[in-house]
Amino acid sequence: MKKMFMNGEWVESSSGETREIINPYNQEVIATAAEGNEQDARFAIAAAREAFDQAAWAGIPAAERGKVVRTIAELIERDHEELAELESLDTGKTVEESRGDMDDIAGVFRYFAEMVDKDGGEIIDSPIPHSTSRVVHEPVGVCGQITPWNYPLLQASWKLAPALAAGNTLVMKPSEITPLTSVKVFELMEEAGVPAGVVNLVLGPGDSVGAELSANNDVDLISFTGGIETGKRIMQAASSNVKNLALELGGKNPNIVFADADFETAVDQAMNAVFFHAGQICSAGTRLMVEERIHDDFVNKLVDRVKNIKLGSGFDESTQMGPLISKEHLNKVAHYVENGKKEGATVAVGGDYPDDPELQKGFFYLPTVLTGCTTDMRVVQDEGFGPVITVEKFSTEAEAVRLANDSIYGLSGGVFTNDIDKAERCVRKMRMGTVWINDVNLYFPHAPWGGYKQSGVGRELGKTGLEEYQETKHIFQNLKPEPVNWF
Ligand SMILES: NC(=O)c1ccc[n+]([C@@H]2O[C@H](COP(=O)([O-])OP(=O)(O)OC[C@H]3O[C@@H](n4cnc5c(N)ncnc54)[C@H](O)[C@@H]3O)[C@@H](O)[C@H]2O)c1
Ligand SMILES: C[N+](C)(C)CC=O
């Protein structure tokens, strides 16, 4: 039974309720987890509040905190294979992808561990005679952290590492359907020596545990990664005590291919942009935009290659794409494609469930390419979050940029061209938090990640990822205090 971690203890839920965790490849039960509720969330928040107010973590010298965060990275590296296999069991993604995630996760803890003791504040040139003026950074306080199911531990690491580095205490709620690697990393944080009450883990549903974290007045910051509609609810709840807010939401990301791009690379990357993790990636380049002159050749080549994508178990080395996360999500993706067809899109390949008998127990959907799409279609505007590419045509650079920006989202986008001036002109006009030139879906700890428009608020990773977990304080000192005699 996977328990919750509160005030340094592993506990069951106060109600005794549990949830079965399902393998999306074959629907087998892989674990049972405690199912927490509002009361459990309040208990964990109180523990984090107490630990913060007693300076159980922020009061430790920064270099010592850095050492503990670095040890977490080392323990993740030690248990790398176990963590990768757990992630694949829970999400269905290939173990090869999960191994890459674990490398990234250890790197994130290392990156923030190195930043811990580098900030000595700032001296301001005070305009007031006989005074000093300084700026220091302090932790925000108690942080609520809510994560999604698609990259369970990766998204958790983007929140845990900077929050700890900055000296905060926290309560994390992972997605209720993929808690396994989060439980494991809390074991590793305990082993690394994080003091009791500093990190707390509550398992359970969003509308109880997540809602309590978002609304509770003892929480100072809420950091959320997930869908737009949930993000809006959290934003409203967080207004109760005007919490600091960080939102990493969805995307519907354009991938623009100009006729002068390297053809083979652009086709290959158009597939990488979408079919990793069956398209369940916030920054998936699901909206392929191809210059009219090469459109037909490009689609033909793409379809030829997509036909050969091998579906299967994430534990089979020959598998290139695993299942979707759940029955509910599979139905959502199938409806999304059906609606696209009704709007006039043509299924060039896929558009159905696989008929391979070996895949019938899993939540599989065929890699799909929809052609004849236009920007006004819902299938182009909505985040499908599945292995589905919509293809649009454009004829000029200005049109490509205008169409790419025609979205409520602004998470990421790609441009493929050999004309570097054109690439630069396009990416500077694209209203997205990350833009790639001749590449897709890249991220690393040193560069900030986040969305323009409705894709989010704030940035994770990089220097800004640490700043999100810090308050900024100005300290002014009068070196020659004397009466002002105004009154
Ligand atoms: N921008 C990014 O970096 C990024 C990264 C990963 C995923 N995502 C987005 O996440 C979405 C997929 O994840 P999902 O389906 O798990 O999202 P979701 O919004 O359904 O759930 C995310 C988390 O929120 C919790 N939650 C649900 N209702 C809640 C409520 N009322 N109050 C508080 N918490 C609540 C869930 O239990 C879960 O832990 C996609 O839209 C994807 O684009 C974004
Ligand atoms: C942020 N990222 C790309 C790792 C996962 C998005 O779903």
Each residue's pLDDT, cut to its tens digit, for the chain (487 residues) gives: 999 999 999 999 999 999 999 999 999 999 999 999 999 999 999 999 999 999 999 999 999 999 999 999 999 999 999 999 999 999 999 999 999 999 999 999 999 999 999 988 999 999 999 999 999 999 999 999 999 999 999 999 999 999 999 999 999 999 999 999 999 999 999 999 999 999 999 999 999 999 999 999 999 999 999 999 999 999 999 999 999 999 999 999 999 999 999 999 999 999 999 999 999 999 999 999 999 999 999 999 999 999 999 999 999 999 999 999 999 999 999 999 999 999 999 999 999 999 999 999 999 999 999 999 999 999 999 999 999 999 999 999 999 999 999 999 999 999 999 999 999 999 999 999 999 999 999 999 999 999 999 999 999 999 999 999 999 999 999 999 999 999 9
Q: Give me the interface pTM, i.e. the ipTM.
A: 0.98
Contacts of 326 (CB under 8 A, 6+ apart): 22, 24, 177, 363
pTM for this model (two decimals): 0.98
Q: Is there an atom of ligand 2 within 6 Å of 280 CB?
A: no
Residue whose CA lies nearest to ligand 1 atom number 26: 206
Q: Report how far ligand 1's centroid is from the alpha carbon of 242 (Å).
A: 21
For ligand 2, is residue 282 a contact (CB within 6 Å)? yes
Compute the distance from residue 110 Cα to the ligand 1 centre, in Å: 26
Among protein residues, the one with the nearest Cα to ligand 2's atom 1 is 282
- State how far the Cα of 367 lies from the Cα of 312, in Å rounded to an integer: 12
Residue 285 CB neighbours (<10 A): 28
- The backbone region for 130, taken as left when phi is positive above 0, alpha when psi lies in -120 to 50, beta otherwise, is left
| Distance between Cα 277 and ligand 2 center (Å) | 10
Counting ligands in written order, the one closest to the CA of 144 is 1
Q: Is 12 a catalytic residue?
A: no
pLDDT at 257: 99
Residue ranges around ligand 1 (CB below 6 Å): 146-151, 155, 173, 175-176, 205-207, 210-211, 214, 225-227, 230, 233-234, 248-251, 282, 383, 385, 411, 451, 456
Give the Å distance between the CA of 284 and the centre of ligand 2: 8
The answer to whether the CB of 184 falls within 8 A of the CB of 79 is yes
**Residue 434 to residue 405: CA distance in whole angstroms:** 13
Task: Using the atom order of ligand 2, give the atom closest to the CA of residue 148.
Answer: 7
pLDDT at 69: 98
Residue with tokens 């900055």: 166
Q: What is the pLDDT at residue 296?
A: 98
Which pLDDT value is given to residue 303?
98
Ligand 1, residues 225, 326, 383: which to mutate, most atoms within 8 A of Cβ?
225
Percentages of the chain per state (helix, strand, coil), in multiples of 5: 40, 20, 40
Q: Which ligand is nearest to the CA of 250?
A: 1
In the reported structure, the alpha carbon of residue 393 is separated from the centroid of ligand 1 by a whole-number distance in angstroms of 32
Residue 9, both tokens: 């203890």
Q: Choosing from 38, 248, 383, 392, which is the catalytic residue?
A: 248
Measured CA to CA, the distance from residue 216 to residue 237 in angstroms comes to: 9
- Ligand in closest contact with the CA of 251: 1
Q: Is 469 in the pocket of ligand 2 (CB under 6 A)?
A: no
Mutating to test ligand 1, I would choose from 21, 90, 146, 325 the residue with most ligand atoms within 8 A of its C-beta, which is 146
Q: Ligand 2 pocket, 281 CB below 6 A?
A: yes
Q: Which ligand is nearest to the CA of 328?
A: 1
Our CA angle for 447, 449, 454, nearest 5°, is 155
Residue 233: the pLDDT is 98
* Rounded Cα gap, residues 390 and 210, in angstroms: 33
Q: Are strands 244-248 and 221-225 parallel, antiparallel or unpaired?
A: parallel
Alpha carbon of 351 to ligand 1 centroid (Å): 25
The 10 Å Cβ neighbour count of residue 398 is 12
The rounded Å distance from CA 227 to ligand 1 centre is 4
Q: How many A from CA of 456 to the centre of ligand 2?
A: 13
The ligand that comes nearest to the alpha carbon of residue 97 is 2
- Phi and psi based region of residue 195 (left: phi greater than 0; alpha: psi -120 to 50; beta: remaining): beta
Q: Which residue minimizes the CA distance to atom 31 of ligand 1?
A: 207
Is 154 near ligand 2, meaning CB less than 6 Å away?
Answer: yes
